[in-house]
């Protein structure tokens, strides 16, 4: 098949499946994006895992445990979708450990107190929902189907975070201040999860041509901001952006300039927690080697028994 015929399939809204012919560049683009998405899900478990033992109640602990467990599952779906493109899990993990593959920069910020659990669920999972609902229509079959399953669970993640923020905002003045402080620290890194502005997004051209992305970074970012401002106001918190203002003409919120120097500094490895996150992943991966070996040995034995 030629690239021209491939593009006709994309334009005709046909899903591309693992065994279909695809341009090498499409395959590489997908491996890049899906693997970084998977790495984000797994690394994202660390900032929240930090608070399981210090959750304020058994109910809060159970909810946080369930959420973190979901994220591990999201990583599993995404690694599995990525492996259908002809790359192994070991190679993907090695790329992460070698710094050749990234994960979402939001996870390179620390979670300092329980209010951060609220802000992460409300804003980070809230942003992920906007991005992932759009990705349900991505042109690659396994990625699209994985997104449908993930989006069902993501809504619970956002709700539980928002409940924490609403509870603290309605609590003592100190608790409300903790919630506002968490919003102040996590707001800007959350809206940067949507990536650089469209004009500065080197991958968006192909991503949109091949319908890997269905909407642009700025469209999704705007949609997230428009729906989140009212949620903050409802619980009496203030979005930390003095330029945030409803624009009657456009029907959207205008918002302030983002600090892209900080963004690229963190993406390139110089964020508050980059080293900690990667060191922890490497240590956990090493410690888990015996489990992987046991699972492989068991699978081999089962295979032998069934021949
Ligand atoms: N953090 C780290 N890297 C980022 C980034 C961010 N917030 N935003 C963009 N980048 C990287 C891109 O990966 C790309 O790097 P690469 O060329 O080395 O692969 C580069 O910056 C240029 O950005 P582009 O906009 O040109 O790249 P994309 O077209 O890939 O758009 C994206 C970036 C919007 C993140 C897109 O890759 C995407 O939609 N990915 C899938 C969703 C995803 O990965 N979300 C991450 C969070 S998952 C999550 O939050 C889990 C939830 O359960 C909490």
Buried/exposed code over 174-195 (b: 16+ C-beta within 10 A; e: otherwise):
eebebbbbbbebbbbbbbbbbb
Q: Say if CB 46 and CB 109 are below 8 A apart.
A: no
Indicate yes or no: pTM above 0.85.
yes
Residue 253 β-bridge partners: 246
Residue of minimum CA distance from atom 11 in ligand 1: 195
Using DSSP's 3-state secondary structure scheme, residue 240 falls into coil
* Residue 196 alpha carbon, nearest atom of ligand 1: 25
Helical ranges in the chain per DSSP H: 3-11, 24-43, 45-49, 58-83, 89-97, 114-119, 125-135, 141-169, 173-191, 204-209, 217-234, 260-267, 274-287, 289-306
Q: Quick one: pLDDT at residue 107?
A: 98
Q: Is the CB of 201 under 6 A from ligand 1?
A: yes
Using DSSP's 3-state secondary structure scheme, residue 124 falls into helix
Residue of minimum CA distance from atom 13 in ligand 1: 33
Q: Quick one: pLDDT at residue 215?
A: 98
Residue of minimum CA distance from atom 9 in ligand 1: 195
CA of 21 to the centre of ligand 1 (A): 25
The pLDDT profile of the chain, 307 residues, written as one tens digit per residue, is 789 999 999 999 999 999 999 999 999 999 999 999 999 999 999 999 999 999 999 999 999 999 999 999 999 999 999 999 999 999 999 999 999 999 999 999 999 999 999 999 999 999 999 999 999 999 999 999 999 999 999 999 999 999 999 999 999 999 999 999 999 999 999 999 999 999 999 999 999 999 999 999 999 999 999 999 999 999 999 999 999 999 999 999 999 999 999 999 999 999 999 999 999 999 999 999 999 999 999 999 999 888 7
Query: Helix 217-234 vs helix 173-191: angle between axes, to the nearest 10 degrees?
Result: 170
Q: Which residue has the tokens 């650089």?
A: 196
Residue 138 β-bridge partners: none
Nearest 5°: phi and psi at 6? Answer: -60, -45
Q: Quick one: pLDDT at residue 304?
A: 87
CA of 32 to the centre of ligand 1 (A): 9
CA of residue 220 relative to chain centroid, distance: 14
Nearest 5°: phi and psi at 254? Answer: -75, 145
Q: Quick one: pLDDT at residue 306?
A: 82
Q: Is the CB of 30 under 6 A from ligand 1?
A: no
Q: Say if CB 187 and CB 123 are below 8 A apart.
A: yes
């Amino acid at each position: 098949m030629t690239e021209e015929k491939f593009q006709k399939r994309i334009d005709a809204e046909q899903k591309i499946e693992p065994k279909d012919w695809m341009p090498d560049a499409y395959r590489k683009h997908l491996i890049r994006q899906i693997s970084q998405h998977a790495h984000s899900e797994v690394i994202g478990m660390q900032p929240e895992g930090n608070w399981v033992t210090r959750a304020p109640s058994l109910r809060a602990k159970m909810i946080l445990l369930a959420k973190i467990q979901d994220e591990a599952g999201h990583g599993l779906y995404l690694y599995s979708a990525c492996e259908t493109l002809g790359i192994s899990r070991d190679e993907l993990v090695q790329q992460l450990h070698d710094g050749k593959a990234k994960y979402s920069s939001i996870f390179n910020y620390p979670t300092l107190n329980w209010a951060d659990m609220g802000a992460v669920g409300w804003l980070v999972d809230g942003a992920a929902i906007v991005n992932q609902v759009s990705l349900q229509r991505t042109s690659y079959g396994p990625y699209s189907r994985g997104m449908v399953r993930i989006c069902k669970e993501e809504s619970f993640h956002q709700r539980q975070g928002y409940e924490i923020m609403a509870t603290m905002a309605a609590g003592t003045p100190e608790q409300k201040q903790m919630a506002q402080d968490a919003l102040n620290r996590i707001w800007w890194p959350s809206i940067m999860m949507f990536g650089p502005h469209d004009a500065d997004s080197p991958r968006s051209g192909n991503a949109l041509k091949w319908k890997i992305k269905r909407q642009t970074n700025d469209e999704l970012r705007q949609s997230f901001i428009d729906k989140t401002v009212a949620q903050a106001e409802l619980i009496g918190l203030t979005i930390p952006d003095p330029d945030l203002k409803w624009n009657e003409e456009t029907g959207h919120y205008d918002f302030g300039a983002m600090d892209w120097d900080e963004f690229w500094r963190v993406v390139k490895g110089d964020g508050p927690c980059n080293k900690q996150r990667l060191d922890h992943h490497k240590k956990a991966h090493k410690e888990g080697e015996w489990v992987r070996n046991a699972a492989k040995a068991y699978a081999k034995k089962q295979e032998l028994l069934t021949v």
